[in-house]
Amino acid sequence: MNNKQKPYRLYLTEDQMPKQYYNLRADMKELPEPMLNPVTKKEVTVEDLLPIFCKELAKQELDNKTRYIDIPSEIREMYRIYRPSPLIRAYNLEKYLDTPAKIYYKFEGNNTSGSHKLNSAIAQVYYAKQEGIKHLTTETGAGQWGTALSEACSYFNIPLSVYMVKSSYEQKPFRKDIMRTFGADVIPSPSNTTEVGRKILKEHPNTTGSLGCAISEAVEKAVTTPNSKYVLGSVLNQVLLHQSIIGLECETAFKILDEYPDIIIGCAGGGSNLGGLIAPFMRDKIKGTHNPRIIAVEPASCPSLTRGKYTYDYCDTGKMTPIAKMYTLGCDFIPSANHAGGLRYHGMSPIISKLYYDGYMEAVSTIQTDVFKAAILFAQKETIFPAPESSHAIKVAIDEALKCKETGEEKTILFGLTGTGYFDMTAYSSYLDNTMSDYIPTDEELEKSFPNII
């Protein structure tokens, strides 16, 4: 495609949409360490996972070999409601920055749930439905995953119980109500609907809840409800697998453009967006056919890659899930108030962790006032209103573009714009009103929660 034909937003046709997920583990030179059973401390098996996950998802979780996994037509059917998502050239931002760099972003916020989470929600709900599951449970903090899952459950007609941390339930009534619009039963946690909830309420009647408690309730609800499973929106291998659709679409789009990104940037909470975005490019890097820089961006308030330890830890604060080797701040780490709620996870996807450990990628952290400054510049120039999570990637993309301005290099930058910020107006308001503060944990604070599991 010559420059004159290149569009502002590149939409693939439906025919060009991926028909298979790409499993990066099949091409990794060294695999992530295996997950361990939290009781026996032995490598988990598919059977170990079946009380939590449906069969196909348990299989995907542990499958390190199958390079491509067919996307069932029913999943592709729902994908085509909002996919392919556009790859957009940030012409206006480039012009404003006066940079020779080309900045592209893959925009995953153009669906009602407002984020990339929907890509995996659809897959997880579909496989559960296929196996005769009649009910799903999950927990939600920031609310993006809960919203995406509500949408998918509504589409496939499966009842959903969402345990929402009580403080979020009360402070984010709109998030709650958009899930209710999609038919989900949203329960403030702790609640009277579970044993663990009743116990906590009895001991601490005025508690506003925690993510750990919400997970415990969601898991109990799944285990005690016939034909019910619990589902998760990040960290897991299966989630990164589903999110590979983001990277695969980017790969096709860059082939059409006859370009290749020199720098790939994604925000990193649990790693689901980042792992999906980079998958095919990381494959090229591992194989040595290309050598892009790949950068994970995390909040300075929750710096698992940049200041965490690479060790075995629980994936959840409730210590009920398998333990995984990953960069972690310790499953007891309580991140300070950070408006990018989706990036407040104590650990990091084992796949991303391993790739980072092996030197295939870089990581940087950034303070939130810098992130919102970048978000507002981006909104004004590109007229998309970004989620605070995504804005971490924007911040670093701008930094890299400005470096190109200094050196005169015409690098091609790609970043993942994971979602929109319509439900994060409170954070924007506090930035606009100059009442937002930054927080960086001290080494002593981090030391307190570093884990010592194995």
Tell me which residues touch its own copies (CB under 8 A): 7-9, 11, 13-14, 78, 80-82, 92, 110-113, 151, 154-155, 173-174, 177-178, 180-183, 376, 379-385, 420, 422-423, 425, 428-429, 432
Q: d(Cα 452, Cα 443) in Å, to the nearest integer?
A: 17
Q: d(Cα 349, Cα 304) in Å, to the nearest integer?
A: 11
Shorter beta-carbon distance to its own copies: residue 114 or 212: 114
CB 1, CB 256: distance < 8 Å: yes
Q: What are phi and psi of 294, to 5 degrees?
A: -125, 125
Q: d(Cα 298, Cα 76) in Å, to the nearest integer?
A: 31
Quote the least distance from Cβ 426 to its own copies, whole Å. 8
Quote the least distance from Cβ 256 to its own copies, whole Å. 13
Shorter beta-carbon distance to its own copies: residue 9 or 41: 9
Of 144, 143, 16, the closest CA to residue 79 belongs to 16
Shorter beta-carbon distance to its own copies: residue 111 or 228: 111
Quote the least distance from Cβ 378 to its own copies, whole Å. 10
Shorter beta-carbon distance to its own copies: residue 110 or 369: 110
Beta bridge partners, 312, equal 325
Quote the least distance from Cβ 298 to its own copies, whole Å. 24
Quote the least distance from Cβ 196 to its own copies, whole Å. 28
Sequence-distant (≥ 6) Cβ neighbours of residue 99 within 8 angstroms: 401, 402, 404, 405
Shorter beta-carbon distance to its own copies: residue 36 or 231: 231
Shorter beta-carbon distance to its own copies: residue 4 or 65: 4
Give, as one character, the DSSP assignment of residue 44: P
Of 234, 300, 241, 261, the closest CA to residue 106 belongs to 261
Shorter beta-carbon distance to its own copies: residue 86 or 269: 86
Quote the least distance from Cβ 385 to its own copies, whole Å. 4
In angstroms and rounded to an integer, the radius of gyration of the C-alpha atoms of the chain is 21
Quote the least distance from Cβ 375 to its own copies, whole Å. 8
Q: d(Cα 436, Cα 150) in Å, to the nearest integer?
A: 31
Q: d(Cα 421, Cα 340) in Å, to the nearest integer?
A: 10
CB 37, CB 48: distance < 8 Å: yes
